[in-house]
Structure 1
Amino acid sequence: MSVEASSLSVILSFILSLVMTGFFYFKDRKNSETASWIKLILASCRFFIVFIVVFLLFKPIIVTIKENVKKPNLLVLIDNTASIVLRDSTEGEKVRIASDRLRTELSEMCEVHLIPFGTGLFEGQGLDFKNEGTNVSRAISLLSDEYVNENIGSVILISDGVQNVGMASINSLLQSPIYTVGVGDTGAIVDAAVLGVYHNDVSFKGDKFNVELNLSFLGLEGVLQKVIVEFNDRKVKEFSYRPVKESDHLKKNFYLKADSAGLKSISCSVSSRSTDKILSNNSKQSYIKIIEDKQNVLFVSNGSSPDARIIKSTFFGDDKFKLESKLFKEEVPNLEQVDAVVLIGNSSQTNRWLKEINKIDVGFLWFTGVDGVFKNDFLQFVRLDESNDNVSVMVDESFDGFDLSGVLKAQDQLPPIAIPFGKWKINGEMETVFNQKIGGVETSYPLFLFSNYNGNTFGVFIGEGLWRWGFFQNNDDDQSFINELLTRSIRKIASKSIKSGLKLRIKDEWLNNEEIKLVVNRLNDVSELTNEKPLLFNLMDANGVSKRFDFLRVNNHYELNIGLLPFGVYNYSIGYSSLDSLGLEGGFIVKENKLESESIVANHYLLKKLSQETNGDFYLIEDIDSLIKKLKSSKNFKSISFFESVLDHLIKNKWIFFIVLILASFEWFVRKWQGII
């Protein structure tokens, strides 16, 4: 323990104490007859009393060195998804018992963290095995970020090994061994399942669209199966199928006609006389949006270029769009009948087009290229030099405007995009889709974004080089991600601006285990955010049952958490409390999440491979005691000792008060005894 104070404070306290003591005891005639040795004792008491009081006025600091011992961490990742108990409900109880034993037996040697996971980490939550979606690779990645620079002894992964979300391979960034504990049965069972009902997201009234069914049959060789397909709750197809082997798959394609507009359901169910172990995966439902008219898209460019060719080719042959092409140097046509404008590259005439776009409030998507000057109502760019940077794509996980799973799978392999070197400023309320990854370093600089400014919804893809992504695509599955990215971007910007001043951020699709949260912004006449008026949300399900919700007014915007909704089609309207004028109308669908029922056979091979690659071991849930014994003898669990300096004000210590009190009491007693009071 030590005291820290400035030299000046000590000197001033000493001088002031010396002067006051000398004046009181050696200049005062009352003390002249007191014995010298008593006078010296009294003077010493007075000196130290004054010194302590004056010194404390300078706020000295007392420093205490404290030794801390930090135990190592044991991180236990627990699969909290429905597949654990779907086949055998007793497996969930086995997992609970195993996790409790790990905490009880190992808590003395380490800090045990029980962390449930699904598509993310849910530390602190209980085990209910109701989550849909297992992403082991993301859970381990999040774990390495959350416990970076921590003393981790080992990691335990308790799971059935069924990964149905994210990358198929698992790469651990943790330096600690991962011990895996296998749950569930790896043996085949009797089960018929609808794995998928695939079709376009959008079709047009009067058109026919293709539907593909993906069915799986386990242990049903030779057993007749009946398949029923319903479109908008009306049976449209029925057929039978007899599996030809123990593990059989069937893909079936057919066409349906879109006879009316709106959100329509397509469902498929399979049944047989044989005993099916799992019934929850015997049916599946999806939704398609049927719209009245095709969307008119106008492409504007400088002519033929690699980016222009790949962007336009995405829409060729797609009967959901009516396409027209213009050059920047041409006259701007009447944009009243145009749903979206796609600008490819830059020109001295670009601002002329943007002014006309701004007048009509039509949405636009701009692939900026790298040449020319960028200075207009929507964005500005200050070029720092004439060079271009090659940047990689990094999906912004906060973006929820539409599904980006295709890009997520491919983002690490996508060729780089060339962007001009400088500073960009995008006006309006931004939603970032992609960020830039420069030299392997992740940044928050946007590469692709959407914004809303002055009533216009627009998207900006900075730079050029999208054509390189076309060379990356080598099969139909790879090609789908760029098609979906561009067509969904067009649909996002094609919605006309709302003249009421209300701007709602809402997805078209939700899952039945996903909380529906809404944010509404309202602009006043001078384009300032305001929420002075109360706002209502009216929700109607497919049966015509309505519910009314009140938005919360938070800061200068509106928020609403509807919570969980059953799967189905919903329509909504938003307006002020008087309901005299509705501001927004629309619809969305809630899909049933059945990811966990699509694969109910445990995959212990994945767990064994992960343990082998990280110098761990694989155990069955029944052998949890063997794992505990192994960890107790492991040399990976080492406590860390470190010293910590604790700072506090000296005046807070009680012993200072008692020293002053004792000295003052002693001085008073002696002075009383000598009769000099």
Structure 2
Amino acid sequence: MQIHSIGLIIAAGIIALIISIFQYTYKAKNRTKKHLFFALLRFLSVFTLLILLINPTFRKKSSYIEKPSLIIAVDNSSSIKHLSQNKQVIELVDKFQNSEELQDRFNVKFYTFSDRLEDTLNLKFDKKQTNISNALGNLDQIYKNSNAPTVLITDGNQTYGGDYQFSSRTYKQQVFPVIAGDTIKVADTKIQQLNVNRYSYLKNRFPVEVILTYSGVDNVSTKFEIKSGKNTIYSQPVSFSKDNNSEIITLTLGASKAGVLQYTARLVPLENEKNVINNNKDFAVEVIDQKTNILLVSDMTHPDLGAIKKSVESNERRSITILKPAEVQDIEDYQLIILYQPNTRFSSVYKKITDVKKNHFTITGSKTDWVFLNKVQDLYKQEITRQTEYYLPRFNNNYGTFLLEDIGFGGYPPLVGTFGEIAINSSYDVILHRNISNINTEEPLLATVEDNGTREAVLFGEGIWRWRAQSYLDTKSFETFDEFFSKLVQYLASNKKKSRLNTIAESFYYGNSSIKIKAEYFTRNYEFDNRGNLSISLKNKDTEQSQTIPMLLKNNSYEVDLSSLSSGNYDYTVSVIGENISRSGSFSILDYNVEQQLLNADVTKLTQVATNTNGKAYFMNQDDILIQDLVADERYKAVQKSKENIVSLIDWKYLLAILIALLSIEWFMRKYNGLI
């Protein structure tokens, strides 16, 4: 209690004493012993009331026992069921839940994990992916300031993510893996990996690479084959031994017709082979009967040219030719013309573009002849200043001509362009605004223009090779930038008329991948409409089953996740509820479950995880030993802790009851004695 509060309490006592003496001693005419009793009651009631008004605070210490946490993390992936361990895992979890020894010693917390960590115990063992490294990382964040040993019930088979054997070295808790699965090595042949491009061109041949592996000690012979429907289109005998336990087969197949061609690769199982699921793998190739040809016209050498070529040709369905203006003869064979920093030498090229109304992409920069460019076309004009400026990109989230996402332009380096105002004299949509230092402007850096059925994009700056390099530094891949550039090229290379509803989907998906379909919905003015109510109707062409699923708004598109669908061929229709607008398509899902490719528990990695974290590995039949070890481990003791709280006297409810009681007794006694 503070000193000034003590002073106030003393003052309150003096005031209460003065009031009681004045009321029942000084003012009373005939003082009796009863008046002294009344004075005492009045003193106590007034003093209590003043104490409540002063409301002094006190420090209150309390102690409690804190038990360590015990994390039980259970693998909920389908490999547990595939290895016939699902019943044993459920029984083990029930035993942990009902163990009084563990409940007395620990605060037991249960989690499940597959591709992500969940704080539930909904054990169905139906998840198609496993990421143990991610589960350990999340648990490490949750219990980073706690003493929380971790029991990891899993087969140790991870399908994607960082190697948990190494990432566990930074895990702050002790891990006690419980190994679920058969640890006995048996003879097994399987298709370890199959590499094939998603696309090919009609009447071409596409390569297929297959890696076959064998685990066993005997010399064995079998056969590898590829089937299309019921027809075997490729066959080759293969032999394995203890020392020669893998083989790589490279072959080419013909793309005889357009569309999605589905194949099955099969390694004929050995006699009495235990796991035959991993001997088959479905794959598909989309055969395209047309290739997008792009012409890049430039009168100079510049790093941008290489960046543009790499981005365009990252998509195998596109090819690019680089020519000087004087070398351009016929542009009819090209779907898109890219004009890099035009000058007077481009006169003949612009005449050809105007004559055939060819879509084009103009990139300007410090060497652009704006006097010529302003004269040769009238869609946009640049103020002539003869000065350059550095322009930073700012993504326009309201861009609605086609679907684009911000790929991190806010961290990209500036482009070099001509200083001055830009006037666009036609209908246009800005993809990127340009900033000068920290000043935001509404002037375009990258915009698309449509005029009389011709599409054009204009980039008012040079140096996009730096953007592609920055994208690699940010994501360790060129894929993000190349995909952005590919969408722009796709829009410019197409003469397809604008539609208020567009769908974006692949023609086929692998069963272990994310299956998402997107849709763009626009108003009558072709502005993105985020108020739409879209749904997708699906029909399995093999089973005739149908279902309708609502699509969710995500950024500048509507999206639905169909990863839970089973393999098969599907038709879909995306509709706008309340309007007579819909778009249809089809796709296939190839049957592939990576969890079923696994035959044994990974004892080596799980044992190493236990070693890395000062834990210990156990097998499923050692549950009693695990419980006894955890209970007896001196590292996990309950800790007595204390906490100090500042408590206000007004929070003590009994003091108010005492005040009411004192006033009531005083009133009753005075009434009884005729003083009221």
TM-score, scaled relative to structure 2: 0.70
- In structure 1, C-alpha distance between the alignment counterparts of 2:554 and 2:198, rounded to whole Å: 36
- Give yes or no for the alignment of 1:165 onto 2:218: no
Q: Of the candidates 323, 327, 340, which is equivalent to residue 327 of structure 1?
A: 340
- Give yes or no for the alignment of 1:252 onto 2:249: yes
Report 1:496-507 matches (<5 A). Answer: 496=491, 499-502=498-501
Q: 1:575 — aligned with what?
A: 575
- In structure 2, C-alpha distance between the alignment counterparts of 1:629 and 1:205, rounded to whole Å: 67
Contact 1:228 / 1:238 at 8 angstroms: preserved in 2?
A: yes
How many residues are treated as equivalent by the alignment?
Answer: 598
What's the offset of the Cα at 1:270?
Answer: 3.4
Further displaced range: 78-87 or 13-22: 13-22
What's the offset of the Cα at 1:323?
Answer: 0.9
- In structure 2, C-alpha distance between the alignment counterparts of 1:452 and 1:642, rounded to whole Å: 66
Q: Which runs of 5+ in 1 are unaligned?
A: 385-421, 429-449, 473-480
- In structure 1, C-alpha distance between the alignment counterparts of 2:369 and 2:16, rounded to whole Å: 84
What's the offset of the Cα at 1:300?
Answer: 8.5
- In structure 2, C-alpha distance between the alignment counterparts of 1:642 and 1:337, rounded to whole Å: 80
Contact 1:297 / 1:321 at 8 angstroms: preserved in 2?
A: yes
Q: 1:464 — aligned with what?
A: 466
- In structure 2, C-alpha distance between the alignment counterparts of 1:301 and 1:549, rounded to whole Å: 51
Contact 2:536 / 2:549 at 8 angstroms: preserved in 1?
A: yes
- In structure 2, C-alpha distance between the alignment counterparts of 1:649 and 1:566, rounded to whole Å: 63
Report 1:442-461 matches (<5 A). Answer: none
Give percent identity, aligned residues only: 21
Contact 1:115 / 1:122 at 8 angstroms: preserved in 2?
A: yes
Contact 1:80 / 1:116 at 8 angstroms: preserved in 2?
A: yes
What's the offset of the Cα at 1:673?
Answer: 3.2
- In structure 1, C-alpha distance between the alignment counterparts of 2:64 and 2:131, rounded to whole Å: 37
User: What secondary structure sits across from 1:464 in the alignment?
Assistant: helix
Q: Of the candidates 130, 145, 152, which is equivalent to residue 126 of structure 2?
A: 130
User: What secondary structure sits across from 2:416 in the alignment?
Assistant: coil
- In structure 2, C-alpha distance between the alignment counterparts of 1:650 and 1:158, rounded to whole Å: 52
User: What secondary structure sits across from 2:250 in the alignment?
Assistant: strand
Q: Deviation digits for residues 104-161 of structure 1, max 9, x if unmatched? A: 2433222233333223223322444333333332222222122222223x33333333
- Give yes or no for the alignment of 1:312 onto 2:309: yes
- In structure 2, C-alpha distance between the alignment counterparts of 1:8 and 1:453, rounded to whole Å: 81
Q: 1:415 — aligned with what?
A: none
User: What secondary structure sits across from 1:108 in the alignment?
Assistant: helix
- Give yes or no for the alignment of 1:288 onto 2:288: no
- In structure 1, C-alpha distance between the alignment counterparts of 2:360 and 2:457, rounded to whole Å: 10
User: What secondary structure sits across from 2:118 in the alignment?
Assistant: coil
Q: Deviation digits for residues 410-454 of structure 1, max 9, x if unmatched? A: xxxxxxxxxxxx7999999xxxxxxxxxxxxxxxxxxxxx99999
Report 1:442-591 matches (<5 A). Answer: 464=466, 482=477, 488-496=483-491, 499-502=498-501, 512=511, 522-524=521-523, 534-543=533-542, 545=544, 547=546, 549=548, 551=550, 564-577=564-577, 580-582=580-582, 584-591=583-590
Report 1:553-632 matches (<5 A). Answer: 564-577=564-577, 580-582=580-582, 584-632=583-631
- In structure 2, C-alpha distance between the alignment counterparts of 1:293 and 1:267, rounded to whole Å: 26
- Give yes or no for the alignment of 1:155 onto 2:187: no
User: What secondary structure sits across from 1:372 in the alignment?
Assistant: strand
- In structure 2, C-alpha distance between the alignment counterparts of 1:321 and 1:42, rounded to whole Å: 99
Q: Deviation digits for residues 35-86 of structure 1, max 9, x if unmatched? A: 4524522431452464367568xxx878754333321123333333333443
- In structure 1, C-alpha distance between the alignment counterparts of 2:650 and 2:418, rounded to whole Å: 63
What's the offset of the Cα at 1:9?
Answer: 13
Contact 2:48 / 2:655 at 8 angstroms: preserved in 1?
A: no
Contact 2:517 / 2:559 at 8 angstroms: preserved in 1?
A: yes
Further displaced range: 455-464 or 322-331: 455-464
Contact 1:224 / 1:272 at 8 angstroms: preserved in 2?
A: no
Further displaced range: 157-166 or 507-516: 507-516
- In structure 2, C-alpha distance between the alignment counterparts of 1:120 and 1:194, rounded to whole Å: 27
Task: Classify 1:559/1:133 alpha carbon distance in 2 versus 1 (closer, same or farther; 3 Å).
Answer: closer
Q: Of the candidates 208, 229, 242, which is equivalent to residue 211 of structure 1?
A: 208
* Letter of the 1:82 counterpart: S
What's the offset of the Cα at 1:676?
Answer: 1.1
Task: Classify 1:544/1:77 alpha carbon distance in 2 versus 1 (closer, same or farther; 3 Å).
Answer: closer
Contact 1:179 / 1:618 at 8 angstroms: preserved in 2?
A: yes
Further displaced range: 659-668 or 166-175: 166-175
* Letter of the 1:230 counterpart: K
- Give yes or no for the alignment of 1:109 onto 2:105: yes
- In structure 1, C-alpha distance between the alignment counterparts of 2:466 and 2:510, rounded to whole Å: 35
User: What secondary structure sits across from 2:105 in the alignment?
Assistant: coil
User: What secondary structure sits across from 1:106 in the alignment?
Assistant: helix
Q: Of the candidates 179, 182, 186, which is equivalent to residue 185 of structure 1?
A: 182
- In structure 1, C-alpha distance between the alignment counterparts of 2:17 and 2:369, rounded to whole Å: 84
User: What secondary structure sits across from 2:186 in the alignment?
Assistant: coil
* Letter of the 2:416 counterpart: G
What's the offset of the Cα at 1:360?
Answer: 8.6
TM-score, scaled relative to structure 1: 0.70
Q: 2:239 — aligned with what?
A: 243
- In structure 1, C-alpha distance between the alignment counterparts of 2:144 and 2:447, rounded to whole Å: 35
- In structure 2, C-alpha distance between the alignment counterparts of 1:640 and 1:28, rounded to whole Å: 61
Task: Classify 1:359/1:569 alpha carbon distance in 2 versus 1 (closer, same or farther; 3 Å).
Answer: closer
Contact 2:618 / 2:626 at 8 angstroms: preserved in 1?
A: yes
| RMSD across aligned positions (CA) | 5.5
* Letter of the 1:566 counterpart: S
- In structure 2, C-alpha distance between the alignment counterparts of 1:86 and 1:284, rounded to whole Å: 17
Further displaced range: 532-541 or 645-654: 645-654
- In structure 1, C-alpha distance between the alignment counterparts of 2:527 and 2:221, rounded to whole Å: 65
Task: Classify 1:26/1:360 alpha carbon distance in 2 versus 1 (closer, same or farther; 3 Å).
Answer: closer
- Give yes or no for the alignment of 1:372 onto 2:416: yes
What's the offset of the Cα at 1:200?
Answer: 0.9
Task: Classify 1:518/1:371 alpha carbon distance in 2 versus 1 (closer, same or farther; 3 Å).
Answer: closer
Task: Classify 1:350/1:528 alpha carbon distance in 2 versus 1 (closer, same or farther; 3 Å).
Answer: farther
Contact 1:268 / 1:284 at 8 angstroms: preserved in 2?
A: yes
Structure having the higher Rg: 2
Contact 1:71 / 1:638 at 8 angstroms: preserved in 2?
A: yes
Q: Of the candidates 23, 26, 31, which is equivalent to residue 25 of structure 1?
A: 23
User: What secondary structure sits across from 1:616 in the alignment?
Assistant: coil
Further displaced range: 362-371 or 160-169: 362-371
- In structure 2, C-alpha distance between the alignment counterparts of 1:585 and 1:427, rounded to whole Å: 38
- In structure 1, C-alpha distance between the alignment counterparts of 2:138 and 2:443, rounded to whole Å: 33
- In structure 2, C-alpha distance between the alignment counterparts of 1:308 and 1:668, rounded to whole Å: 100
Task: Classify 1:531/1:63 alpha carbon distance in 2 versus 1 (closer, same or farther; 3 Å).
Answer: farther
Further displaced range: 364-373 or 595-604: 364-373
Further displaced range: 509-518 or 560-569: 509-518
- In structure 1, C-alpha distance between the alignment counterparts of 2:540 and 2:59, rounded to whole Å: 66
Contact 1:281 / 1:594 at 8 angstroms: preserved in 2?
A: no
Contact 2:261 / 2:287 at 8 angstroms: preserved in 1?
A: yes
What's the offset of the Cα at 1:539?
Answer: 2.3
What's the offset of the Cα at 1:591?
Answer: 4.0
What's the offset of the Cα at 1:522?
Answer: 4.4
- In structure 2, C-alpha distance between the alignment counterparts of 1:457 and 1:568, rounded to whole Å: 40
What's the offset of the Cα at 1:513?
Answer: 7.0
Contact 2:284 / 2:508 at 8 angstroms: preserved in 1?
A: no
What's the offset of the Cα at 1:566?
Answer: 1.1
Report 1:313-462 matches (<5 A). Answer: 313=310, 320-325=317-322, 326-330=339-343, 369-372=413-416, 377-380=430-433
Q: 1:79 — aligned with what?
A: 75
Contact 1:268 / 1:285 at 8 angstroms: preserved in 2?
A: yes
